[in-house]
């Protein structure tokens, strides 16, 4: 199956928009690569350049090791599936799937066989005679998939194929699609803005922001060792807690991470202490996911933070407590969803919540793009995420902590959490991972 290599690919549209900024990326034979990022970050443009529907401004698109910049789309052996796929309404399901084969002159007998094979693989064998209007949304999406598969392409390009479907169906189809594609062994580039979709489906995930590739790796790698603050904030739910910390080195003993009212201590024999020690006297960002925090008795020894519950969120299978520990959080903007919006305290919060509900109902995210945090921003202009008081990207931290469903605590309760020090992430003020070692 087809391999893809993008080499320093940039796309500048005639109006000056830099949609893709110096992206290099390899897709291996049979690999399921997910391109992940918020709306407008350049995912579709990458896909369209691979398909040959858009020319790179600079850089090379290689298919199977050969330069393909000038190869016409139809000679690339590619099938595309889009979000707003269009089926021919007047044709039956069978005729829709058969259409690409008819175009390329496959005869009726073998055509029928291939359509039947594909349809049964997709579980739509019994609706071949129906018109698209007589199908459910999920069935229609399967027909669109069938039409792409039937040509036996060497490469699938899928652009948010599930985002018009409701969430139950989306979960079902994402398992189906990744299963099917793997069975067929076809290399795939799958575009989504949904981090859960990316983490569940991908062999590897490539995360983009404003045209710039931020990180590439297996779901375990990008989730477990995000290369930038942006990636750390984008992946996972609840979002990673990102706290501002000042570093103090007590040579040969420990490194203090001063979080404001409280501190955490990295013992000197922790291999990461040496790397963090370079930032003596400076501010860094300490990331801790909810899974690094465990509620403990208030007087517990060890790596413990004392806090007070600001508010609780009940999610049915679990509850989340948001803890005030007297620290400052770094808010990463430009993540594309309402989850990241600042949570005002007190009365304003209810109103903001209502606004979020309305946004969900109306499908609008609202407001202008407020991408103010320049974590590895395009064109190499790199601004500190910590020293920019004119922009709203710092706020009192509310540490997300997982609790059992409907716990016997309420807002205002004190709570202590033990911190798994080995699960902390460290980022410098530009948003790059501070680390030792490698993946």
Q: Which does 96 bind (CB under 5 to 8 A by kind): ligand ADP, Mg ion, none?
A: none
The listed partner (Mg ion, ligand ADP, none) that binds 19, CB under 5 to 8 Å by sort, is ligand ADP
Question: Which positions from 14 to 53 touch ligand ADP by CB under 6 A, shown as an x/- string?
Answer: -x-x-x-----------------x-xxxxxxx--------
Number of residues that bind Mg ion (CB under 5 A): 1
- Site of tokens 């404003």: 210
Structure tokens at 354: 């209502």
Helix (DSSP H) and strand (DSSP E) numbers for the chain:
10, 22
Of residues 22 and 96, the one with the C-beta less far from ligand ADP? 22
Interface mask (CB under 5 A) for Mg ion, residues 172-201, using x and -?
Answer: ------------------------------
Cα distance between residue 222 and residue 291, in whole Å: 16
In the complex with ligand ADP, which residue's Cβ is closer, 231 or 323?
231
From ligand ADP, Mg ion, none, which one binds at residue 42 (CB under 5 to 8 Å depending on kind)?
ligand ADP
Closest to ligand ADP by CB, 40 or 161:
40
The 10 Å CB-count burial string (b at 16+, else e) for 40-53 is bbbbbbbbbbbbbe
Residue 43 vs 151, nearer CB to ligand ADP:
43
The answer to whether 325 touches 262, Cβ cutoff 8 Å, is: yes
Question: Could you tell me the smallest distance in angstroms from the CB atom of residue 20 to Mg ion?
Answer: 12
Closest CA to 319 of 401, 411, 405, 398: 405
Query: Shortest gap between Cβ of 164 and Mg ion (angstroms)?
Result: 13
- Report 145-184 residues binding ligand ADP (CB under 6 A): none
Going from the C-alpha of 139 to that of each of 149, 174, 325, the distances in angstroms are: 15, 13, 49
Residue 58 contact among ligand ADP, Mg ion, none, beta carbon within 5 to 8 Å by kind? none
Q: Does 241 bind ligand ADP (CB under 6 A)?
A: no
Is the Cβ–Cβ distance between 381 and 353 less than 8 Å?
no
Query: Residue 88's closest CA among 79, 98, 73, 74?
Result: 98
Of 139 and 359, the one with the shorter C-beta distance to ligand ADP is 359
Q: Which does 41 bind (CB under 5 to 8 A by kind): ligand ADP, Mg ion, none?
A: ligand ADP
- In this chain, which residue has its C-beta nearest to Mg ion? 44
Non-local CB neighbours of 96 within 8 Å, separated by 6+ positions? 87, 88, 132, 143, 146, 147
Close Cβ partners of 427 (under 8 Å, ≥ 6 residues apart): 228, 229, 232, 242, 284, 285, 287, 433, 434
Per-residue x/- marks for Mg ion, 31-60, CB under 5 A? Answer: -------------x----------------
CA angle 198, 204, 208 (to 5 degrees): 65
15 binds, among ligand ADP, Mg ion, none (CB under 5 to 8 A by kind): ligand ADP
Contact 270, 254 (CB under 8 A): no
Residue 39 or 167 with smaller CB distance to ligand ADP: 39
Binding site for ligand ADP (CB under 6 A): 13, 15, 17, 19, 37, 39-45
């Amino acid at each position: 199956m087809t391999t893809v290599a993008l080499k320093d690919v940039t796309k500048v549209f005639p109006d000056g928009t830099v949609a893709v900024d110096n992206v290099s990326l390899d897709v291996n034979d049979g690999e399921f690569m997910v391109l992940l990022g918020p709306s407008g970050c350049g995912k579709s443009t990458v896909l369209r350049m691979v398909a040959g529907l858009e020319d790179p401004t600079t850089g090379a698109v290689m298919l199977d090791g050969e330069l393909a910049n000038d190869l016409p789309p139809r000679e690339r052996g590619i099938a595309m599936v889009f979000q707003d796929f269009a089926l021919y309404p007047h044709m039956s399901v069978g005729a829709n799937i058969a259409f690409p084969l008819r175009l390329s002159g496959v005869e009726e007998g073998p055509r029928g066989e291939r359509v039947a094979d594909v349809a049964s693989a997709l579980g739509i064998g019994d609706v071949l005679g129906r018109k698209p209007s007589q199908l459910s949304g999920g069935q229609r999406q399967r027909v669109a998939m069938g039409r792409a598969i039937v040509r036996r392409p060497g490469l699938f390009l899928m652009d948010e194929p599930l985002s018009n479907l409701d969430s139950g169906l989306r979960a079902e189809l994402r398992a189906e699609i990744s299963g099917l594609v793997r069975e067929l062994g076809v290399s795939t580039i799958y575009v989504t803005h949904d981090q859960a979709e990316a983490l569940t489906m991908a062999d590897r995930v490539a995360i983009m922001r404003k045209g710039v590739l931020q990180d590439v790796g297996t779901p375990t790698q990008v989730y477990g060792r995000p290369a930038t603050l942006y990636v750390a904030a984008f992946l996972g739910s609840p979002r990673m807690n990102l706290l501002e910390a000042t570093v103090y080195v007590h040579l040969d003993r420990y490194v203090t991470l001063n979080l404001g009212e409280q501190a955490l201590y990295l013992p000197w024999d922790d291999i990461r202490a040496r790397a963090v020690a370079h930032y003596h006297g400076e501010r860094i960002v300490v990331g801790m996911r909810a899974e690094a925090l465990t509620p403990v008795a208030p007087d517990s020894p060890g790596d413990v933070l004392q806090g007070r519950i600001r508010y609780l969120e009940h999610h049915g299978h679990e509850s989340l407590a948001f803890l005030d520990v007297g620290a400052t959080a770094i808010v990463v903007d430009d993540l594309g969803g309402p989850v990241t919006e600042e949570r005002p305290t007190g009365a304003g919060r209810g109103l903001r919540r209502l606004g979020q509900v309305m946004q969900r109902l109306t499908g609008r995210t609202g407001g202008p793009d407020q991408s103010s945090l320049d974590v590895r921003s395009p064109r190499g202009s790199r601004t500190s995420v910590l020293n920019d008081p004119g922009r709203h990207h710092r706020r009192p931290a509310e540490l997300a902590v997982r609790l059992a469903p409907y716990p016997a605590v309420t807002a205002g309760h004190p709570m202590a959490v033990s911190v798994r020090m080995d699960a902390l992430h460290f980022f410098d003020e530009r948003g790059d991972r501070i680390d030792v070692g490698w993946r």
